[in-house]
Amino acid sequence: MQAYDTIAAVDLGSNSFRLQVARVVEDQIYPLDSLRETVRLAAGLTPDNFLDDESQLRALACLKRFGERLRGLPSHAVRVVGTNTFRLAKNAFAFLEKAEDALGFPIEIIAGREEARLIYLGVAHCMPPSHNHRLVVDIGGGSTECVIGEGLEPLRMES
């Protein structure tokens, strides 16, 4: 596994977009920046599940701002994921091309269970170590994820 000095994660959720940038020192992660913008992407889904122009413009403006912060980071140190609204939108792939240009990094549309796994890992890394089972529930703008895990290991995931 390749080591990085600085890493970033971008979560393109149905209601808000989030950017986390951190420095890695040995086995510790130290947060540097945390940005969140309410984009309301899911509010721009038409009745036939197409992203309307207004929501796309809001998203692209946010992604340009995030891209400015990420400029200079290698692409392999940045992971960008699109969640439920990207899974639902019939024009998601056409929008992705514009979104990747605005951000400057590739965007991966992830399945609900992968979203649940990542949510659990984020929560587990922010809590004191424990060998007890934990239930993590994330009520998002477009989907809800439930995960039962132990320590840093998700055991059962649903979205």
What average pLDDT does range 23-28 have in this prediction? 84
- Give the per-residue SS3 of 90-130: CCHHHHHHHHHHHHCCCCEECCHHHHHHHHHHHHHHHCCCC
Helix (H, G, I), strand (E, B) or coil at 149: strand
Ranges for all domains in the chain classified under CATH 3.30.420.40: 6-109
Least confident range from 32-36, 63-67, 71-75, 123-127: namely: 123-127
Torsion (CA) 55, 56, 61, 66 in degrees, nearest 10: 100
The bridge status of strand 78-82 relative to strand 108-109 is parallel
Higher pLDDT: 149 or 26? It is 149
List the end-to-end C-alpha distance of the chain, in Å, as a whole number: 29
pTM: 0.87
Fold of 6-109: Nucleotidyltransferase; domain 5 (3.30.420)
Average pLDDT over residues 95-116: 95
